[in-house]
């Protein structure tokens, strides 16, 4: 049997399931290892970062094309920025909200939602504020850095609608500044969400980390909490000392599609 890495081998009708798995073990050993971990795990948590959404058209932060390559996060993503440079803060978040108008989840998001329905994964903890996991049907999602799809007054916490944030400067109740419900640098994460994610990862026997540089505290501590196996799916190397059990170098959507094909063999 051919041993080139041509993925089309998997749809070759002439091959048996055993032959296809044998081929995959030779050409894509990490994918087969991850499939085996997924199938044998009883509690799996997926931890995602901005790399999970780039194939939907949302820039990440620290790649060459990321937000922080052109903008200093301290100027737009801190409470100080909100309080001292409100027009820059407002413009940055209005731009990101507007950019979400034509953004949809990609097939990788839908695969994760399907795996949850099939009880293959139990929860997703995400640093992403785009709501794409929820939009694609995942039910147990812990939005650790909040959401850019809901808004409030920074001073009196009054909830405001998106069109108010996009068109007004101040709160109609107290005159305070309006902001998205994202966790700004230096703010504490929502404690209920953090506790749920912390407990689920602590009890997990498999944690799959997808598309994050793991540069931001405290989320970057989560993978080391589990006593289970850890897997990293990322296009780049991730700095920091993380003894991942399996490393799959690749794009989130493509890797999830391949994993799903192997699972459905
Ligand atoms: N597939 C897999 N990995 C990808 C893909 C992709 N399609 N696209 C990008 N990546 C990788 C990048 O190589 C990078 O290592 O995803 C990682 C994204 O890292 P960051 O841009 O740092 O994003 P993230 O880790 O989510 O940032 C954490 O920082 O700015 C704050 O609050 C913001 O939640 C964000 C936090």
User: In terms of pTM, does the model score above 0.85?
Assistant: yes
pLDDT at 90 > cutoff 60: yes
Confidence of residue 239 (pLDDT cuts 50, 70, 90): confident
- Kindly tell me if the per-residue pLDDT of 241 is higher than 80: no
pLDDT value at residue 46: 99
Which sequence spans correspond to the domains of the chain? Answer: 59-99+147-182
User: For residue 5, what pLDDT is reported?
Assistant: 86
Residue 235 confidence class, pLDDT cut points 50, 70, 90? very high
Q: Which residues contact 26 (CB under 8 A, 6 or more apart)?
A: 3
How confident is the prediction for the chain on average, in pLDDT?
A: 95
State the CB neighbour count (10 A cutoff) for residue 224: 14
Q: Given the CA of residue 183, which atom of ligand 1 is nearest to it?
A: 32
Q: Is the CB of 143 under 6 A from ligand 1?
A: no
Cα–Cα dist 166/151, whole Å: 10
Q: Calculate mean pLDDT across residues 159-185.
A: 96
Q: How far is the CA of 142 from the centre of ligand 1 (A)?
A: 17
- The atom of ligand 1 lying closest to the CA of 49 is 26
How far is residue 147's CA from residue 78's CA, in Å, rounded to a whole number?
15
The rounded Cα 170 to chain-centroid distance in angstroms is 31
Q: How far apart are CA 17 and CA 220, in angstroms?
A: 38
CA of 59 to the centre of ligand 1 (A): 9
Q: Kindly list the distances between the CA atom of residue 77 and the CA atoms of 67, 163, 182, in Å, as whole numbers in the listed order.
A: 11, 21, 9
Atom of ligand 1 nearest to the CA of 60: 21
Task: Say which DSSP state 12 is in.
Answer: -
Query: With a 6 A CB cut-off, is 96 part of the ligand 1 pocket?
Result: no
What's the DSSP call for residue 186?
A: T
Mean pLDDT of all residues in 136-145: 98
Mean pLDDT of 82-99: 96
Q: What is the pLDDT of residue 169?
A: 80
Is the pLDDT assigned to residue 2 strictly greater than 60? no
Alpha helices (H) along the chain: 17-27, 29-40, 73-76, 79-84, 86-99, 107-117, 132-135, 162-167, 191-203, 252-263
Phi/psi at 201 (5° precision): -75, -35
Which has the minimum average pLDDT: 34-43, 202-211, 234-243, 253-262?
234-243
Please tell me the distance from the alpha carbon of residue 88 to that of residue 11, in angstroms, as a whole number: 51
Q: Checking phi first, is residue 231 left (phi over 0); if not, alpha (psi -120 to 50) or beta?
A: beta
175: its two tokens: 């005159």
Q: Whose CA is nearest to atom 1 of ligand 1?
A: 251
Q: Which CATH number applies to 59-99+147-182?
A: 3.30.1600.10
Residues in the chain: 265
Q: Is 145 a catalytic residue?
A: yes
* Ligand 1 centre distance from Cα of residue 262 (Å): 26
Q: What is the pLDDT of residue 91?
A: 96
Q: Ligand 1 centre and the CA of 73: distance in Å? A: 14
Mean pLDDT value of segment 247-261: 97
Task: Decide if pLDDT at 1 tops 60.
Answer: no
Give the tens place of pLDDT for each residue, 158-170: 999 999 999 988 9
Q: Is the CB of 150 under 6 A from ligand 1?
A: no
């Amino acid at each position: 049997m051919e041993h080139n890495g041509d993925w089309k081998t998997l749809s070759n009708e002439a091959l048996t399931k055993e032959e296809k798995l044998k081929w995959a073990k030779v050409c894509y050993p990490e994918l087969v290892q991850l499939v085996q971990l997924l199938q044998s795990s009883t509690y799996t948590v997926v931890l995602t970062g901005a790399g999970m959404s780039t194939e939907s058209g949302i820039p990440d932060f620290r790649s060459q094309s990321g937000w922080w390559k052109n903008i200093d996060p301290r100027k737009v993503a801190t409470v100080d920025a909100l309080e001292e440079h409100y027009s820059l803060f407002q413009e940055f978040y209005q731009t990101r909200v507007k950019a979400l108008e034509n953004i949809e989840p990609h097939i990788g998001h839908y695969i994760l939602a399907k795996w949850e329905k099939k009880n293959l994964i139990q929860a997703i903890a995400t640093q992403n504020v785009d709501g794409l996991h929820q939009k694609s049907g995942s039910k147990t999602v812990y939005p650790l850095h909040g959401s850019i799809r809901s808004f409030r007054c920074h001073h009196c916490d009054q909830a405001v609608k998106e069109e108010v944030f996009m068109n007004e400067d101040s709160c109609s109740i107290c005159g305070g500044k309006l902001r998205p419900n994202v966790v700004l640098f230096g703010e504490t994460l929502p404690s209920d969400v953090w506790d749920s994610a912390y407990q689920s990862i602590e009890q997990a026997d498999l944690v799959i980390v997808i598309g994050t540089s793991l540069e931001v505290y405290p989320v970057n501590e989560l993978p080391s909490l589990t006593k289970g196996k850890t897997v990293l799916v990322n296009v780049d190397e991730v700095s920091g000392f993380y003894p991942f059990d399996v490393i799959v170098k690749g794009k989130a959507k493509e890797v999830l599609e391949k994993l799903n094909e192997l699972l459905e063999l």
